[in-house]
Amino acid sequence: MYRIVKLMSILFCCLLCAACVSDVSVRSEFEKSVKQYNSKLRWREIESAGLLFMETDQLDAFMASAAALRKRDITITDYRVLAEHVLTVKETGDATGSAVVEFDYYIMPSNRVKTLTYKQDWVYHEIGKRDYFKQMAWKLKSGLPAFE
């Protein structure tokens, strides 16, 4: 009887640790995705950022905005992630997240640096299957901000 209780306790602890690790990995993936996306914007890799991180149904609008940014010669000089928040939905594995990012930028021919606060809405969901495992990724739901 003692062995069964001990075995059940160990199994319960393992399951509890596994649940915590998956939540931590979702959060760390979110932080990594936010950083990579904003870094790509910073280094003028806007199209690449869209292809990697935008939801497919919003990709065309994003690419049109990216072309407009290039045409206006907008340069982002720096960014800062002010806040991040992840809400995990346990049953499906899907999650939502939001980040508030501040950009410093200028528009040529002016050399005046402006600051813009940009709220990003993210979703973590299945993007495909590979070898019977779900492939999950963070995708951005909000488009580019209006640089004025």
Q: What is the pLDDT of residue 89?
A: 81
Q: Which of 97, 143, 104 is nearest to 122 (CA)?
A: 97
The SS3 call for residue 127 is: strand
Statement: residue 13 has pLDDT above 70: no
What's the gap between Cα 116 and its chain centre?
Answer: 19
Q: Minimal CA–CA distance to 140: which of 65, 69, 44, 43?
A: 65
Look up tokens 């959060």; give the residue: 27
Percent of the chain clearing pLDDT 90 (strictly above): 66
Residue 51 has pLDDT above 60, yes or no: yes
pTM of the full predicted structure? 0.82
What distance in Å separates the CA atoms of residue 87 and residue 82, rounded to the nearest whole number? 17
Instruction: Read off the pLDDT of residues 101-145 as tens digits, 9 standing for 90 and up.
Output: 999 999 999 989 999 999 999 999 888 777 667 788 999 999 999
The residue count for the chain? 148
> pLDDT-based confidence at 8, cuts 50/70/90?
low
Structural domains of the chain in order of their starting residue, each with its CATH number: 2-140 (3.10.450.50)
CA distance 43 to 96: 26
Residue 54 DSSP symbol: B
The yes-or-no verdict on residue 73 having pLDDT over 90 is yes
